[in-house]
Structure 1
């Protein structure tokens, strides 16, 4: 295991940002390394550590804005700064730093990481991409809303009332709202019990420690999408992805079929796996089966 930081020069910052990374395995082996893009934005690498069950070299990193990378709380609410382009540039910078910009690599993205992976995969920078994994993610915010709204309507009526009142008042800091969101999370974030599993807790703790990127790009919670990604879509570009692509979601997932379907429809060489008895953190809820599907795909 190797840890380090890559200097990342960002226009508008007085000093370079630092992207923290961790390598597990030997990047110089014959196996193609898998670069892991975490979700959130701002959930950090910790919650994806079950992927260490894979028998390939792994590159984890924390995207700037949280975790062990540079924090920029002074940029909270700055939608122009916290852009998809920023994180694509950070990924390219990290790959160059690690010497992975000119040799075959595989990319894995979970949730927001899947959005970022798809965004990167349609660019010229992805010419060395061998295989792509998009897990529990979304092809557009419009289709994501359709799925989320459907799940929300299945919540107990008293929970829905609390959620509606919070959105009307724009007060998302009450204990009642926290309790209502937890009802949704227990159904659609992770089915592992006791809740929260350590991986779930790790992601939620990072949002609490520094919610700059999540709050600015997504919103106050999974059920209130007010950030800069509110109108995001990658659907018109998906036909550009030509590499073998594995799609994963789950029956109880926030990422319902309606938001995964455009990936399957528009990526010609794709395979879609849907897991039972699992939610958004499928890698926690059905760890063994999840890892097996990815290992088989990479091999």
Structure 2
């Protein structure tokens, strides 16, 4: 067995690292339920309002490192994660795309009582069971809203986790709102900010001027730091397929925090972070919509917390600081896995 130091000297993209399978083993889907469909699978989940189906797709095969991806939104889609195809296979890490209930390839019921964090937590647990993920292999990554969901899942079901990744999400919505008001807002052109605030005050979110101002003055500075015409196809498809009903109910219509009647407006788990005992990586971007200092602070509250700072990154640092993001993510997963082999 290789020592931990020899494992970490290998390139983050090397399939030899951390006991990763050979290429043929990694892409061997033989005798798996989803072999016929190339890894895609609909999973039946039970909710208080009946049974529905959610879509997942497996990429790769590694018994010790399996990563389930929780997309943002709420109401977003797995598409924002498609860049993982460029990094996880060559690292030998098995991973799963997954559209939460209400999103894209999954069922989209009309019952708004389903859009609650506790209900989503039970959905993730049912998906975990169906996919056969457990303490020996299960890494969970949540981005943005998915980070909220990942924290909630860990606080209830961490006994099933091998490792947790909270990507670009703070542990407190009120703190997020303060950061938007006190830090991000003042960075904007005062005239633009005044006009945006007036549109929000008038509850005129359908006004096309709102997005006309947001895209060049906010999104390309804090959501994804690329000119709009260069935004990657998966990101554009994710925005096009966003379930606005789920998004507005939970996140609200404003892009400057979570406000109004949004169900997540008072969400705060900062005081509960010490209860999450599993190895956890928090990821923040220097230009993020979320406060990177808060995400660094979160890592210090977690008993086995680690922080990854993407100095060039924004909210979607997996695209605009891709090298830093994936090198750090792969190293964390391999570190946790290698330590489990030596215990």
TM over 0.5: yes
1:286 positional shift? 1.6
Q: Pick from 136, 142, 145: which aligns with 2:174?
A: 142
Alignment gaps of 5+ in structure 2: 1-37, 335-343
Q: Distance in 1 between matches of 2:150 and 2:299?
A: 15
Q: Distance in 1 between matches of 2:300 and 2:151?
A: 14
Corresponding position: 1:8 with 2:40: no
User: 2:119 — aligned with what?
Assistant: 86
Change (3 A) 1:294 1:60: same
Q: Pick from 193, 200, 207: which aligns with 1:160?
A: 193
* More relative contact order, 1 or 2 (CA 8 Å, 6+ apart): 1
Corresponding position: 1:202 with 2:234: no
Preserved contact between residue 135 and residue 161 of structure 2 (Cα < 8 Å) = no
Preserved contact between residue 135 and residue 249 of structure 1 (Cα < 8 Å) = yes
Preserved contact between residue 147 and residue 259 of structure 1 (Cα < 8 Å) = no
1:274 positional shift? 1.1
Task: Show CA shifts across 1:32-72 (max 9, x none).
Answer: 20111111111110011112211200011000111100112
Q: Pick from 218, 225, 243: which aligns with 1:184?
A: 218
Q: Distance in 1 between matches of 2:98 and 2:65?
A: 17
Task: Show CA shifts across 1:223-273 (max 9, x none).
Answer: 252310000011122111111111111110011125424522320211111
RMSD: 1.6
1:102 positional shift? 6.2
Task: Show CA shifts across 1:116-166 (max 9, x none).
Answer: 11111111x221211111111110101111221220121112211221111
Number of paired residues?
A: 288
User: 1:113 — aligned with what?
Assistant: 146
Aligned to 2:74, what secondary structure does the other structure show? coil
Change (3 A) 1:148 1:200: farther
- Specify the structure having the higher radius of gyration (Cα): 2
User: 2:103 — aligned with what?
Assistant: 66
Matches within 5 A, 1:216-231: 216-223=249-256, 225=258, 226=260, 227-231=262-266
1:170 positional shift? 0.6
Preserved contact between residue 192 and residue 284 of structure 1 (Cα < 8 Å) = no
Task: Show CA shifts across 1:185-211 (max 9, x none).
Answer: 11100112344332331222122xx31
Q: Distance in 2 between matches of 1:60 and 1:87?
A: 16
Q: Distance in 2 between matches of 1:218 and 1:3?
A: 29
Corresponding position: 1:238 with 2:270: no
Q: Distance in 2 between matches of 1:224 and 1:273?
A: 23
Q: Distance in 2 between matches of 1:205 and 1:244?
A: 35
User: 1:57 — aligned with what?
Assistant: 94
1:101 positional shift? 4.4
Q: Pick from 130, 137, 142: which aligns with 2:162?
A: 130
Aligned to 1:9, what secondary structure does the other structure show? strand
